Structure 1
Amino acid sequence: MKKTALIAFLLTYSLTYSQAVRKYSNEFMNIGVDAAALGMSNAVVASTNDVNSGYWNPAGLVNLEDGQVALMHASYFANIAQYDYAAYAKPIDDRSAWGISMIRFGVDDIMNTTQLIDGDGNIDYNRISLFSTADYGFTFSYARKLPVPGFQYGVNAKVIRRVIGDFANSWGFGFDFGLQFERDDWHVGLMLRDITTTYNIWNIDEEEYQKIANAIPGENQEPPESTEITLPKAQLGVSKKFEFHNEMSLLAATNLNMRFEQTNDIISTKAVSIDPALGFELGYIDLVFVRAGVGNFQNVLQIDGSEKVNFQPNIGLGFKYKGIQIDYALTDLGDQSAALYSNVFSVKVDLGIFR
C-alpha cells in the first residue's frame, strides 16, 4: 500500500504537473551526497576539497593529490525509496583535475494493478505486474586553478535520465559552475546550479499512460506536456578551520541557498528566496570527526492560519585511517521539519594507498 501511494505521487508529480510545476524538476539532484556533508547540513560549498566536490562545488577538485572514489547509500520513505551515489575523481596536473559521478534515486518492484479488474468486474491476480521508477544523474566535472592566487573554478556537465516503468522516460542536459577563493585560512565558495537551465524531454507511451489515467475513477487525463525546465539556483558559502594546540580542529561553515523565486524559505522576496545553513565539524588528529548542522529553514502555514518556522537539524560521525574514510549522518534529528529522517552512510578511499 505504501508503494502504491508513493508511485501515485511520483506519477502525478513527474508527469501530470511536469509543465505546470517545472521549477521543481529534477529535485532528486538537490538532496545531497556524502554523509560528512549531510551531517553538516550541506554547508560545504566553500570547504569541499575531495572527490565529492564534483557535486558540491567542482572547483574543489583541484585540491586532490591522488585519485579518489566515493560511495553512499541512504533510504527514504520508510525504506521504500533508495538513494545511491558513486564518484571518481583524479588530478590531471598540479593545476587541474577531473571527475565523474552518478546518482540514482528509485523505487523498485512496484505493483501495477491497473489491469487487475477487467471490464466485466472479474479479478485476475495474474494480471498484476511489477515495475520500477528511477531517476539517474550523471555528472562530468572539470576544475582548474586560475592565474590569480587563491582562485579556482570548476564546471559540471550533467546528463539526466528518468524512467517510470514502461509509461514514460526522459533525457535532460544541463551545466553547473563553481568558484572558490582562499585567503588566510578563510574559504569562500559560489555554486551556480543549472546555469543554462536544465531541460528534460519526456517520451510518453500514450497507450500505457492511458491505462493509468483511466484507472483513476471519474477522471480522463490527457498525456502531459513533454518538456520540463529546471531553473537556476545559487549557493554562497564561507568557511574557516581553526587548529588547536591539543591536536583538535574545528571547521565552521555556512551556506546561503538561493532560489530566484518566492518560496517558503525563511527569507523570501519576489526576486530571491534564501535558506541559510550552518555546519560544524570537530576533528581529533585528523582521525575522528563529530559533526552537527542545521538548515532547511521554512515558514510553514499552520491550521490556525499562523506561521511556524521549521528547520532540519543533522548530526554525524566520521573515522579516517590511512586513506579510508567512513562517515555516518542522521538527518532531521528531532523531527523539527516536514522532511523524514534518514540514516546515511558513505565511504571515501584515496587510491594512493594501493600503490
Structure 2
Amino acid sequence: MVKKLLPLISLLFLLLLPGLTWAQDISAPKYSNEFLNIGVGARALGMGGVQSAIVRDATAGFWNPAGLVGLPKRHNAVYMHSELFAGIIKNDYGSYATNLDSASALSFSVIRIGVDDIADTRRLQNEYGAIQYDSIEFFSVADYAFLASYARQSNLLKGLTLGANAKIIYRNVGKFANAWGFGIDAGAQLRRGNWQFGAMARDITTTFTAWKLNAEELEDAYLQEETSFNANSIEITLPRLILGAGRSFQFANRFSALVATDLDITFDGKRNTLISSGLVSIDPRVGLEIGYANAVYLRGGLNNVQQIEDLNGKSSWKIQPNFGIGVATHGLNLDLALSKVSDNSQVSSVIVSLAYSFD
C-alpha cells in the first residue's frame, strides 16, 4: 500500500515545488489569507478539522475536492453559520455539489467571514469642535472566497480519485481598501476497503492577492504620521500540504466508528506547532465519529497543539478539544459543533450546519 501511495505523494510535492522555489526569492508573509484555514461544516469542525481522507459530501469542495466523487445523492447542498468572539465575527459558508456521472462531480462554494457595523468616527467633530453624531458612518470588513471544484475517478489505480479547485478571493475593508486574488488547489483520495487516505495541496502555484488602497480616504492618516503611502501591494500565500488517513469500523450491525488523522504541513517559516523548524511546520490533528443506525452521530477531535507561555514565563503544551453531534434522516443532515473550547470550559464558537441531498 505504501509503495502505491509514494508516486501520488511525489506528484503532489512536484506540484508544490515551483511555488516554494519561486517564493524563496520574495518576501511572503506568514498566515496570508488565513481565513481560509478556519474550516467549514459542523461535522468537520466537530472532528477537529480532520477531513482530507474521509470527506465525501458537498464540503469536499473545500477540504479535498477528490472527495466529491463519493457524494451520497445527485444533488447536494450545505449551509453553515458560526460566530466567533461573542458574535463579533460572522462566518458563513454555502456549497452546491452534483454528480456529473458515475465517475465525476462538480461543486461551487462561497465563504464569507466578516465583521459588520464598524463605526467610522473620523468626522465625529466638526471644525468648531462640536460633536455631530449624524456624521458617524458604518462599514464592514469581510473576506470572501469563491471556489469551483471538479473531481474524477482515476484510471491509474483502483479506488483513486483526483480533484482540483480554482478559487477567487475578494477582501474588502469598507471603502478604505479591497483586494482580489486567485489560486489553485489539488487533492487526491484513495479508498481501500475500510481504509481511506487523502492528500490536499493548497495554493500549489502560490496564491496572489493584489491590494488596492483608497488614497483619498487614507491619505490624511498617513500624513499625520509622516509615513510613506503605497496605494498598491501584493500579498502571496505559500503552498500548504495536508496528508490524512482514516479507518471505519462496524459494530453489532447498528453501530459504526470512524477514526481519522491529518498532518497539516506548512512551508512559510517556523510556526507554534508540535513539530516546527525554519523550513517546515507540522500540525497534527485527530478526529473520531461514532454513529448509530446511520442516523445519530457523536463526534470529537483534538487539534491546534501549541506551546503557551503564562505570565510567569512558564511554558506548557495546550491542545484544543472539539465536540459535535449530528442527526440524519431522509437526505437531511443537521450538525452542531462546539469548537475553540478554553480551559475553563467556556465555548467561544458554536457551528451549525444544515445539509440536504436528493436525486
Normalised TM-score (structure 1): 0.88
Question: Please, which moves more after superposition, 125-134 or 185-194?
Answer: 125-134
> Is 2:180 aligned against 1:171?
yes
Which residue of 215, 225, 243 corresponds with 1:206?
A: 215
Matching residue's letter, 2:215: E
> Map of 1:281-320 to 2, 5 A cutoff?
281-320=289-328
Conservation of the 8 A alpha-carbon contact between 1:39 and 1:329: yes
Alignment deviations for residues 298-347 of structure 1 (CA, whole Å, 9 cap, x no partner): 1223333332212210000000000000000000234489x972010001
- 1:273-352 correspondence to structure 2 within 5 Å: 273-335=281-343, 341-352=348-359
Structure 2 match to 1:160? 169
| In structure 2, distance between residues paired with 1:221 and 1:250 | 58
Q: Deviations over 1:98-146 (max 9, x none)?
A: 1000000011111100111245533222221111111100000000111
1:41 matched residue in structure 2: 48
Contact 2:106/2:151, CA 8 A, preserved across alignment: yes
CA apart distance, 1:158: 0.4
2:128 and 2:114 map into 1 onto residues whose CA distance is 35
Distance 2:336 2:312 in 1: 38
Counterpart residue identity of residue 164, structure 2: V
Deviations along 1:204-252, whole A, 9 cap, x unmatched?
111112345468xx66463465110111111111101100114100100
CA distance in 1, matches of 2:336, 2:227: 46
Among 92, 95, 106, the alignment partner of 1:98 is: 106
Letter in 1 for 2:142: A
- CA RMSD, Structure 1 to Structure 2 (Å): 2.0
- Distance in 1 between residues matched to 2:313 and 2:301, nearest whole Å: 29
- Other structure's SS at 1:304 match: coil
Contact 1:320–1:326 (Cα < 8 Å) also in 2:
yes
Q: Amino acid of the residue matched to residue 179 of structure 2?
A: S
CA change 1:219–1:36 in 2 (3 A) is farther
In structure 1, the partner of 2:256 is 249
Partner residue of 1:236 out of 236, 240, 243: 243
Equivalent AA in structure 1 for residue 176 of structure 2:
F
- Alignment match, 1:184: 193
Give 2:279's match in structure 1, choosing from 271, 276, 284.
Answer: 271
- How many angstroms apart in 1 are the aligned matches of 2:27 and 2:121? 28
Shift of 1:77: 1.7
Per-residue deviation, residues 45-92 of structure 1 (Å, max 9, x unmatched): 100011110000000001124110000000112111110000000011
Secondary structure at the residue paired with 2:341?
coil
Identical aligned residues as a percent: 43
Distance change (3 Å), C-alpha of 1:277 and 1:66: same
Distance 2:193 2:49 in 1: 23
In 2 relative to 1, CA 72–214 (structure 1 residues): closer, same or farther, beyond 3 Å? farther
Question: Does the Cα contact within 8 Å between 2:259 and 2:289 map onto a contact in 1?
Answer: yes
Q: In structure 2, the residue corresponding to 1:62 is in which secondary structure? A: helix
Residue 204 of structure 2: aligned partner:
195
Are the aligned partners of 2:176 and 2:213 in contact in 1 as well (CA < 8 Å)?
yes
Is the contact made by 1:95 and 1:145 (CA closer than 8 Å) also made in structure 2? yes
Structure 1 window deviating more from structure 2 (61-70 vs 110-119): it is 110-119
Distance 1:213 1:243 in 2: 63
Q: Unpaired segments of 5 or more residues in structure 1?
A: 1-18
1:168 Cα deviation after fit: 0.6
Deviating more after overlay: 206-215 vs 143-152: 206-215
Which whole-Å CA distance do the structure 1 matches of 2:78 and 2:206 have between them?
Answer: 27
What is the aligned partner in structure 2 of residue 111 from structure 1?
A: 119
SS in 1 for 2:204: coil
Question: Which residue number in structure 1 is paired with residue 13 of structure 2?
Answer: none
| Cα contact 1:209–1:223 (8 A) shared by 2 | no
| Partners of 1:69 and 1:351 within 8 A in 2 | no
The alignment status of 1:123 with 2:127, answered yes or no, reads no
Contact 2:28 2:237 in 1 (8 A): no
